[in-house]
Structure 1
Amino acid sequence: MFHRSLAPLAATLLMTGAAAAQTSMPFALDWRFEGPAAPYFVAVDQGHFEAEGLEVEVTAGEGSLDAIPKVATGAFPVGFADINSLVRFLDQNPGAPVIAAMMVYDKPAFAVIGRKSLGVSEPADLMDKVLGAPPPDGAWAQFPIFAAENDLDMDRITIEPVGFPTREPMLAEGKVAAVTGFSFTSYLNTMRLGVDGDDLSVILMADHGVDLYGNAVIVNTDFAAENPEAVTGFLRAIAAGWKDTAADPEAAIAALGSRNPGMDADLELQRLTLAMEQNVMTEWVMENGMGNVDPDRLANAVEQIKLTYEFQNEPDPALYFSDAWLPDDGSLTMD
C-alpha cells in the first residue's frame, strides 16, 4: 500500500523534472508563416528541438527588422533577422546583447520586383518611375547600396512608402512600377493577384553588385553566455529542419499548413522551393555547410554598407556575427 500510494507522486515528480529540464527558447521570426518558415516547424514536429532538450515556440514577425529589438531586449532568446539591419542596429545601440549566430540566407532575397509592362526590366529602368517601399522592409534598407552599385540617381526615383499589406496590390494595380521586397514573397504574391509571371521582373540585388548576406538566426548574448549548449542545440535542430525540408518539401508544407490552415499550399511550396534554391542551398553552402560565413565576404559587406550608411562607431564584423555556437559535429553539412 505504501509503495502504491507513492507511485502517482513519483510519476508526477518525474514528469515535472522532465519538463524542468527542457530549456524554453521562443523563436521570433521576421515574417508570417509562409513557405520559408516551414523548416522551423519541421524541426518542432520531427522532435529535433526536443532531442536537444529545448521547448521552442515559433512566433510570426512583421518585417526583417522586427526580431532584432525583441532579441536585444531579451524578450526572445533567439530570432530571425536581416544581418545588415543588425549591423546598423548595433552601431546605433553599441553593446546591445545581440549577435548573428547562424547564417541562413547565404544569398539574400533582397530584390526589386517590377512590371515589365510598366517599363521595369533592369535596374536602370527604375529611374523616373515610382517605387513602392515599406519603410521596415529589409530590401528597402539595402536599396541605397543597390542604387550606388548600379549608378542610379535616387533623385530620379519617386519613392512611395507603402505598407506590407498594400505593397503587392499596388504593384498589381499599376499604382507603382516596382516594389522592394524579398524575391520569393513579392513575386509570388503579385502573381497570386492575377499578374502574369511573364510580366514580372525579379531583380535580385545580389546579382547586381550587392555582396551582402541575408537573414540569420540571431541570439541574445546574455542568454547564450548562460546557455551555450542550448544555443548550439538550437542551431543543430535548425539545420536538421532545413535538411528534412530539402528531402521532402511537400511534408514541410504540410507541417506549415497545420499552423496556417488558410494558406495556399501550392503557392507556399513554390515560395519555399525558391528560397531553398536561390537563397539557402547555395553553392558555397553545399561545399562548406550551413550556418557560417566567409570572413572576407562579410568584411566586404560591411564596406558596402559604408557606401550609404555613416557609422557612428568603428565597424567590426566580430560584433555582428559569431560562429562560437555553431555545432562542429558535421550536422551542418547539407549533402
Structure 2
Amino acid sequence: MMSRRGLSGDGRNTLRAWLLRAGLGLAVLLPVQAALAQTPVRFSLDWRWEGPAAPFAVALDKGYFKAEGLDVTIDPAAGSREPISRVASGTYDVGFGDVNSLVRFRDENPGTDIKAVMVMYDRPPFAIIGRKSRGITSDVASLQGKKFGAPAADGAYAQWPIFKAVNKIDDSTMKFENVGFPVREPMLAQGEVDAVFGFSMSSYINLKARGVPQDDIVVLLMSDHGVDLYGNTIIVSPKFAAEKPEAVKGLLRAIMKGVQDTIKDPSSAVDAVIKRNDVAKKDVELERLKMVLDQNMLTPWVKANGVGGIDKARFEKALDQIGLTFTYKTKPKVEDVFSEQYLPAADQRKVN
C-alpha cells in the first residue's frame, strides 16, 4: 500500500518485477521488429563459391548487409551470363555478371533496362589458356590451326569475335568444340584440345590442380591483346532500383566494405568462401583470389580512382569494340548501360 514516501517495499518490488518483464519483452520484440524491417535481396553470383566471390561472403559474415537493413541471399550460377537472365526475369534483384554480355542482352531485348551499377573487374579475366606442349605460345599467331574447347555459354568465348577482329586473325583453320564447363580443363589436361576459352583464374588454377606443369600452361589475357573491355559488374533490376534505391546504395556500401576487407586480408576472406563450398581447398582458392585482385581488380586506374567507377572514354571504346562483331539494333550510350548514382562516395571506394 502507499506510504507518505510513495510505494511500499512490496509495491516497489512488484513494479520492479513488472518493468523487468516489460523490458525483457521489449528486448525480445526489438530484434524481431528489426528482422521484419530487413529488405530481402536475392543476389546471383556468376559461378560457384570460389575465391573471387570472397568480398560477398565477407559482407555476409561480417554483417555488412544486415547493417544496411538488407537480408541478402546469395546463390551460385553457371556462368557470368546467367545472372543477367536471372535479373531480367525478376527471379533475382541483383547479380554479379559480365557487363559486355549485358550490353548485348539489352540490345537483343529492347525495353529491358537492366543497368550495371558497380564495376568489380576493371579488367576482364577473359583468356585463352593453352599448353606449350600443344604448340601454344604467348604469340597469338600460335593459335592458327589449333583445336579449342569453347563452351557456348562462356563469357570469354563470347569475346572471341572481338579478339579475332582486333588481332586480324583468320580462324578458318581453327576448330572450336562446344564443351561443357566441367570437362573443359580435363580435356586440355588430357590433350584432347590444344587450348580452351575461360576466365584466367579458373582455367589456370584448375589445370594446375589436375597436374599440368605450371611451365606448360600459357595464359593469353585478352586485355593484353587489344580487347579493351570491362569485366564483371554488379547489375540491378530496374524494378528493384526504382522501388528501393536506398537499398541498392546500401548494398554497394556493404560490398565495398567486403572488397576492402578482402584486399587487406585475402586469407581470412577465403575462409568465408571455403565454408560455403565443401570441395574447395584453401590454398587453391587463395591463389585464385590473389590472381583476381592482381589482374582484374587492383589495376592502376582503380588504385588511382577507387573501386566501382568507369573511365567514360574507355567505356565508349568498349561499346565500339562490341560493335565490331555485334550488329546493334540501337547502339547504347554509356549512361544506358552504366549508372554511378548508387555508388558510395569516392573517398569510401579508395583501396591501397
Q: TM-score range by the shorter chain?
A: over 0.9
Amino acid at match of 1:58: I
- Alignment-mate amino acid for residue 35 of structure 2: A
- Partner AA of 1:292 in structure 2: G
Farther off after superposition, 46-55 or 105-114: 46-55
Aligned twin of 2:11: none
Question: What's 2:71 paired with?
Answer: 55
Matching residue of 2:125: 109
Is the contact between residue 124 and residue 150 of structure 1 (CA under 8 Å) also seen in structure 2? no
2:332 is paired with a residue whose SS is coil
Q: 1:28-86 CA distances to partner (integer Å, 9 max, x unpaired)?
A: 00001111011111111112112111111221010011100111122111110000000
Query: Equivalent residue for 1:18?
Result: 34
Q: Which residue, 229, 239, 255 being the options, matches 1:222?
A: 239
Indicate yes or no: 2:53 matched with 1:37.
yes
Distance in 1 (alpha carbons) for counterparts of 2:266 and 2:111: 39
SS at match of 2:148: strand
CA distance in 2, matches of 1:329, 1:226: 25
Matched, 1:196 2:213: yes
State the Cα distance separating 1:97 from its structure 2 match: 3.5
Q: What is the root-mean-square deviation in Å for CA atoms of aligned residues?
A: 1.4
Letter in 2 for 1:103: V
Compare CA radii of gyration and give the structure with the larger one. Answer: 2
* Structure-2 separation of matches of 1:156 and 1:209: 22
Give, in angstroms, the shift of residue 327 of structure 1: 1.3
> Can you give the 5+ residue segments of structure 2 that lack an aligned partner in the other structure?
1-13
What TM-score, normalized to structure 2?
A: 0.92
Instruction: Within 5 Å, give how 1:1-335 maps onto structure 2.
Output: 10-121=26-137, 122-328=139-345, 330-335=347-352
On the 8 A contact 1:97/1:222 being kept in 2, the answer is: no
Deviates more, 1:45-54 or 1:286-295: 45-54
Unaligned runs of 5+ in 1: none
Instruction: Report if the CA contact (8 A) 1:145-1:305 is conserved.
Output: yes
- How far is 1:154 from its partner? 2.1
- In 2: Cα distance, 1:134 partner to 1:113 partner: 13
Distance 1:42 1:196 in 2: 32
Instruction: Give identity over the alignment, percent.
Output: 49
- Superimposed CA distance per residue, residues 272-327 of structure 1 (whole angstroms, 9 cap, x where no aligned partner): 00000010011100100100010000000000001111112232222211101111
Paired with 1:220 and 1:95, the residues of 2 have a C-alpha distance of: 12
2:328 & 2:171 partners in 1: Cα distance?
21
Aligned length: 335
Name the SS of the counterpart of 1:203 in structure 2: strand
Farther-moved stretch of structure 1 (162-171 vs 15-24):
15-24
* TM-score, normalisation: structure 1: 0.96
Deviates further, 256-265 or 296-305? 256-265
When structure 1 is superposed on structure 2, of 297-306 and 65-74 the one drifting more is 65-74
CA distance in 2, matches of 1:51, 1:200: 44
Alpha-carbon distance, 1:7 to partner:
5.7
